[in-house]
Chains A and B, each alone.
Chain A
Amino acid sequence: MVLEVSFAHQPAASQPAPITETPVVRIVLISAALAFLAFFLVLPLIVVFVEALRNGFDAYRSALTEPDTVSAIRLTLLVAAIAVPLNLVFGVAAAWAIAKFEFKGKAFLITLIDLPFSVSPVISGLVYVLLFGAGSVLGPWLKSYGIEVLFAVPGIVLATIFVTFPFVARELIPLMQDQGTGDEEAALSLGASGWQTFRLVTLPNIRWGLLYGVLLCNARAMGEFGAVSVVSGHVRGLTNTMPLQVEILYNEYNFAASFAVASLLALLALLTLGLKSILEFRYGDHIAGASKH
Chain B
Amino acid sequence: MDLSIRRVRKEFDHFPALHDVSLDISSGELIALLGPSGSGKTTLLRLIAGLESPTAGAIFFGEEDASHKSVQERHVGFVFQHYALFRHMTVAENVGFGLKVRPSALRPPKAEIRRRAAELLDLVQLSGLEKRYPHQLSGGQRQRVALARALAIEPLVLLLDEPFGALDAQVRRELRRWLREIHEATGHTTVFVTHDQEEALELADRVVVMSQGRIEQVGTADEVYDEPNSPFVYGFIGDSSALPVRVENGQLWTQDRMLGLSLPGAPDGEAVLYFRPHDVELVDGCGGCIAGTVAASRRVAGTRRVELEIGGERARVEIEVPLDHRASEKSRIAFKPRRWKVFYRDGVKAAPKSPHAQAHEGRILALTGA
Residues of B contacting A200 in the complex (Cβ-Cβ under 8 angstroms): 86, 97, 101
Task: Beyond the given A188-B71, A196-B101, A292-B82, please list 11 additional residue pairs across the A-B interface where CB-CB is below 8 A.
Answer: A182-B80, A189-B72, A189-B76, A189-B150, A190-B150, A190-B153, A192-B98, A193-B101, A204-B88, A205-B88, A293-B134
A178 at the interface (CB under 8 A from B): no
CA A200 – CA B51 in complex, angstroms?
19
The 3 A-B residue pairs with the shortest CB-CB distance in the complex, in nearest-first order: A190-B98, A182-B84, A186-B84
Residues of B contacting A189 in the complex (Cβ-Cβ under 8 angstroms): 49-51, 71-72, 76-78, 150
CA A205 – CA B86 in complex, angstroms?
8
CA A173 – CA B304 in complex, angstroms?
55
CA A292 – CA B81 in complex, angstroms?
13
Q: How far is the CB of A104 from chain B (nearest CB, A)?
A: 11
Residues of A contacting B98 in the complex (Cβ-Cβ under 8 angstroms): 190-192
Task: Name the residue of chain B whose CB is nearest to the CB of A188.
Answer: B71
Residues A293 and B87 in contact in the complex (CB < 8 Å), given A185-B80, A191-B72, A191-B75: yes
CA A228 – CA B317 in complex, angstroms?
78
| Number of A-B pairs, beta carbon distance below 8 Å | 70
Question: Taking each of B49, B85, B86, which has the highest tally of chain A beta carbons within 10 Å of its own beta carbon?
Answer: B86
B-contact bits for A162-199, CB 8 A (1 contact / 0 none): 00000000000000000000110111111111001000
CA A145 – CA B82 in complex, angstroms?
57
CA A187 – CA B102 in complex, angstroms?
12
CB pair A185 B51 closer than 8 Å: yes
CB pair B84 A185 closer than 8 Å: yes
Residues of A contacting B51 in the complex (Cβ-Cβ under 8 angstroms): 185, 188-189
Secondary structure call for the A interface:
helix
CA A169 – CA B102 in complex, angstroms?
31
Residues A183 and B86 in contact in the complex (CB < 8 Å), given A189-B77, A191-B101, A192-B101: yes
Q: How far is the CB of A253 from chain B (nearest CB, A)?
A: 55
CA A182 – CA B86 in complex, angstroms?
10
Residues A205 and B87 in contact in the complex (CB < 8 Å), given A185-B78, A190-B153, A191-B102: yes
Residues of A contacting B84 in the complex (Cβ-Cβ under 8 angstroms): 182-183, 185-186
CA A189 – CA B149 in complex, angstroms?
11
B180 at the interface (CB under 8 A from A): no
Residues of A contacting B87 in the complex (Cβ-Cβ under 8 angstroms): 205, 291, 293
Question: Taking each of A186, A191, A193, A205, which has the highest tally of chain B beta carbons within 10 Å of its own beta carbon?
Answer: A191
A211 at the interface (CB under 8 A from B): no
A201 at the interface (CB under 8 A from B): yes
CB pair B135 A293 closer than 8 Å: yes
Q: How far is the CB of A206 from chain B (nearest CB, A)?
A: 11
A interface list, Cβ under 8 A from B: 182-183, 185-193, 196, 200-201, 204-205, 291-293
Task: Name the residue of chain A whose CB is nearest to the CB of B46.
Answer: A185
CA A293 – CA B146 in complex, angstroms?
13
Q: Range of interface residues on chain B? A: 20 to 34
CA A191 – CA B77 in complex, angstroms?
10
CA A166 – CA B4 in complex, angstroms?
48
CB pair B97 A190 closer than 8 Å: yes
Task: Name the residue of chain A whose CB is nearest to the CB of B96.
Answer: A190
CA A205 – CA B97 in complex, angstroms?
15
CB pair A293 B78 closer than 8 Å: no
Task: Name the residue of chain A whose CB is nearest to the CB of B106.
Answer: A191
CB pair B88 A190 closer than 8 Å: no
Q: How far is the CB of B131 from chain A (nearest CB, A)?
A: 16
Q: How far is the CB of B135 from chain A (nearest CB, A)?
A: 4
Interface residue ranges of B36-91 to A (CB < 8 Å)? 49-51, 70-72, 75-78, 80, 82-88
CB pair A182 B72 closer than 8 Å: no
CA A205 – CA B134 in complex, angstroms?
13
Residues of B contacting A183 in the complex (Cβ-Cβ under 8 angstroms): 84, 86
Residues of A contacting B77 in the complex (Cβ-Cβ under 8 angstroms): 189
CA A205 – CA B87 in complex, angstroms?
8
Q: How far is the CB of B147 from chain A (nearest CB, A)?
A: 12
CA A190 – CA B149 in complex, angstroms?
8
CA A205 – CA B135 in complex, angstroms?
14
Task: Name the residue of chain B whose CB is nearest to the CB of A189.
Answer: B78
Task: Name the residue of chain B whose CB is nearest to the CB of A184.
Answer: B84
CB pair B85 A193 closer than 8 Å: no
CB pair A201 B86 closer than 8 Å: yes
Task: Name the residue of chain B whose CB is nearest to the CB of A179.
Answer: B87
CB pair A187 B88 closer than 8 Å: no
CA A187 – CA B101 in complex, angstroms?
9
CB pair B85 A293 closer than 8 Å: yes
CA A182 – CA B42 in complex, angstroms?
14
Residues of B contacting A185 in the complex (Cβ-Cβ under 8 angstroms): 51, 71, 78, 80, 84
Q: How far is the CB of B198 from chain A (nearest CB, A)?
A: 26
Q: How far is the CB of A205 from chain B (nearest CB, A)?
A: 7
CA A183 – CA B86 in complex, angstroms?
7
Residues of B contacting A190 in the complex (Cβ-Cβ under 8 angstroms): 97-98, 101, 149-150, 152-153
Task: Name the residue of chain A whose CB is nearest to the CB of B12.
Answer: A102
CB pair B71 A182 closer than 8 Å: no
CA A188 – CA B78 in complex, angstroms?
10
CA A182 – CA B146 in complex, angstroms?
12
